[in-house]
């Protein structure tokens, strides 16, 4: 056996096929002990008592326009069509497509106050108006990066270049997972295409790969190749997993390569997910009134279904669920006042996003779950015209997102912008500040949640960020 361990597992199987059955039998008898070494119990390395233990991040890829959704600017409407001030275009300022001479673009969307909090919302988000007293609205968010791919990376990893761990990976690295049968970090996607940046957005970077996000498909098998081959029964498969796990453990004793432990845990998780994942993804067992509230439809691949699945995942112990819904770019939308596809995107997400918050609350899960809704940046108060249709360029100096649950202050608006919505005048929240505050609510000091890589300690917030105490309950 010692000679075999010096060779690859592929050689072992090809040379010793006749002996696999007897080895598998021995491993089946010792299965409970072997599987005990791949537990996914929470690591619980928090620095202080957490206010939340789960995160659902609804990422609107493309950059929703705050002017059409959250930020009503009468002065901007009054000056609609006038050339923007030169002060908007200093030498150090970059936009993706516009420059000096761009004209101001006021929005004609109707806004009204909602709830006891009086939160001001656009007509495009009527269902969000039902949960405003549970929402903490941030109107002074700023970021550093103005192109989509790098900006998505920055919002998700704190750095604009691929290779850093994502927010979900840092959270599972710190807290582990409460689920024995599902990954700790799951990614669900909807919209006409995947988000720019791809799997780098949910990568574990230099953290152990067990902390990377696992994409689930909305239709068919949740994960490709999860189903057992035809004629391969559960008992035979259990023996195979136990045998390979034993070989991996013996190899780990020799090499001490931590990725071998990840491989063992991944194999065990895959085996358990063969029964747990299909049950999770089958929403037909949900009551009709719940399906109707979300706008979900069994068997469909939609944002509404993904919101309902996010609730089901949190119930089953998944630590971090990230929903990506794409096509929020507004450079030249057909119709007046940023018409389609903005109106269509809002119809797709409004009811389901609000339903998720309502559903979590009625089940007693909202206080333990941080729910985030927002994109990678905002849009300019200046218009951009393509093919005679008005749109807005990327804007990093002022945009909006909202958070609910997890100890964030409900029914609260934080941050203000100037009369034209170009700059934050109070309550600025940088992306690093947002990350620091999220980690704080999960029980971590963002300066102490670090990982040593290539001779230095890395953290999600790099060398920046502070906790925004004003938005915490």
* Cβ partners under 8 Å of residue 366, min gap 6: 134, 357, 360, 404, 405, 406
Q: What distance in Å separates the CA atoms of residue 274 and residue 178, rounded to the nearest whole number? A: 18
pLDDT at 34 exceeding the cut of 70: no
Fold of domain 54-218+301-471: Alkaline Phosphatase, subunit A (3.40.720)
Determine the average pLDDT of the residues in 271-294. 87
Q: What distance in Å separates the CA atoms of residue 225 and residue 265, rounded to the nearest whole number? A: 17
Average pLDDT over the chain, rounded to whole?
87
Q: What distance in Å separates the CA atoms of residue 22 and residue 24, rounded to the nearest whole number? A: 5
Q: What distance in Å separates the CA atoms of residue 385 and residue 103, rounded to the nearest whole number? A: 10
pLDDT at 444 exceeding the cut of 70: yes
Q: What distance in Å separates the CA atoms of residue 228 and residue 183, rounded to the nearest whole number? A: 19
- pLDDT at residue number 91: 86
* Alpha-carbon torsion (361, 365, 370, 376), positive or negative: negative
Q: What distance in Å separates the CA atoms of residue 409 and residue 441, rounded to the nearest whole number? A: 12
Cα 121–chain centre separation: 24
pLDDT at 2 exceeding the cut of 50: no
Q: What distance in Å separates the CA atoms of residue 337 and residue 390, rounded to the nearest whole number? A: 7
Tell which residue, 316, 57, 60, has the closest CA to residue 187. Answer: 57
**Is the CB of residue 21 less than 8 Å from the CB of residue 270?**
no
**Is the CB of residue 353 less than 8 Å from the CB of residue 130?**
no
pLDDT by residue (tens digit) across 46-101? 899 999 999 999 999 999 999 999 999 999 999 999 999 999 999 888 899 999 99
pLDDT by residue (tens digit) across 378-433? 999 999 888 777 899 999 999 999 999 999 999 999 999 999 999 999 999 999 99
**Is the CB of residue 426 less than 8 Å from the CB of residue 25?**
no
**Is the CB of residue 44 less than 8 Å from the CB of residue 176?**
yes
Whether the bond into 341 is cis, omega within 30 of 0 = yes
Cβ neighbour number for residue 56 with a 10 Å cutoff: 27
* Cα-only R_g, the chain: 24
Residue 50: helix, strand or coil by DSSP? coil
- Residue % of the chain over a pLDDT of 70: 83
User: Would you list the domain boundaries of the chain?
Assistant: 1-36+226-293, 54-218+301-471
Q: What distance in Å separates the CA atoms of residue 315 and residue 309, rounded to the nearest whole number? A: 10
Q: DSSP labels for 138-162?
A: EEEEE-S--SHHHHHHHHHHSSSST
Helix spans in 256-284 (H): 258-281
- pLDDT at residue number 400: 98
- Per DSSP (E only), the strands in 207-293 are 214-216
The 8-class DSSP code of residue 85 comes to: P
pLDDT at 42 exceeding the cut of 70: no
pLDDT by residue (tens digit) across 207-250? 999 899 999 987 777 776 666 667 667 676 667 667 777 888 88
* Phi, psi (rounded to 5 degrees) for 275: -105, -35
**Is the CB of residue 57 less than 8 Å from the CB of residue 369?**
no
Residue 320: helix, strand or coil by DSSP? strand
The 8-class DSSP code of residue 225 comes to: T
- pLDDT at residue number 333: 65
pTM above 0.95, yes or no: no
- pLDDT at residue number 232: 67
302: left (phi over 0), alpha (psi -120 to 50) or beta: beta
Written as six digits, the tokens of 298 are: 């069994």
Written as six digits, the tokens of 112 are: 């009204």
Determine the average pLDDT of the residues in 305-328. 97
**Is the CB of residue 438 less than 8 Å from the CB of residue 50?**
no
């Amino acid at each position: 056996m010692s000679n075999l361990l010096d060779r690859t597992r592929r050689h072992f199987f090809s040379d010793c096929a006749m002996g696999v059955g007897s080895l598998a039998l021995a491993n089946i008898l010792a299965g409970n002990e072997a599987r005990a070494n791949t537990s996914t119990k929470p690591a619980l390395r928090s620095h202080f008592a957490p206010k939340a233990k789960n995160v659902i991040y609804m990422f609107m890829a493309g950059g929703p326009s705050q002017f059409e959704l959250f930020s009503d600017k009468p002065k901007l409407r009054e000056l609609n069509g006038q050339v923007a001030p030169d002060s908007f275009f200093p030498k150090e300022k970059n936009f993706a497509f516009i420059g000096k001479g761009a004209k101001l673009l006021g929005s004609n969307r109707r806004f009204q106050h909602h709830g006891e909090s009086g939160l001001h919302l656009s007509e495009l988000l009527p269902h969000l108006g039902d949960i405003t007293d549970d929402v903490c609205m941030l109107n002074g968010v700023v970021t550093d990066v103005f192109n989509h791919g790098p900006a998505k990376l920055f919002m998700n990893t704190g750095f604009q270049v691929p290779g850093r761990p994502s927010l979900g990976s840092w959270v599972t690295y710190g807290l582990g997972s409460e689920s024995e049968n599902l990954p700790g970090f799951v990614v669900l996607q909807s919209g006409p295409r995947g988000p720019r940046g791809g799997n780098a957005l949910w990568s574990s970077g230099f953290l152990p790969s067990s902390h990377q996000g696992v994409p689930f498909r909305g239709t068919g098998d949740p994960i490709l190749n999860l189903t057992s081959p035809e004629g391969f029964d559960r008992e035979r498969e259990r023996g195979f997993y136990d045998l390979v796990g034993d070989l991996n453990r013996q190899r780990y004793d020799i090499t001490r390569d931590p990725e071998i432990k990840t491989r063992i845990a991944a194999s065990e998780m895959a085996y358990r997910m063969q029964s747990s994942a299909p049950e999770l993804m089958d929403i037909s067992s949900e009551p009709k009134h719940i399906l109707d509230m979300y706008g979900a439809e069994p068997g469909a691949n939609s944002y509404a279904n993904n919101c309902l699945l996010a609730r089901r995942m949190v119930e089953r112990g998944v630590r971090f669920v990230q929903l990506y819904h794409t096509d929020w770019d507004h450079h030249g939308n057909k119709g007046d006042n940023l018409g389609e596809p903005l109106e269509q995107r809002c119809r797709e997400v409004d009811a389901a996003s609000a339903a998720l918050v309502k559903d979590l609350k009625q089940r007693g899960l909202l206080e333990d779950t941080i729910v985030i809704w927002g994109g990678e940046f905002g849009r300019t108060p200046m218009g951009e015209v393509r093919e005679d249709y008005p749109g807005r360029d990327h804007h990093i100096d002022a945009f909006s997102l909202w958070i609910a649950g997890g100890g964030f202050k409900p029914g609260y608006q934080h941050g203000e912008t100037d009369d034209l919505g170009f700059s934050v005048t109070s309550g600025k929240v940088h992306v690093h500040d947002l990350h620091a505050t999220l980690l704080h609510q999960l029980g971590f000091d963002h300066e102490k949640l670090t990982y040593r890589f290539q001779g230095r300690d890395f953290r999600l917030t790099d060398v920046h960020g502070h906790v925004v105490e004003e938005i915490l309950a």
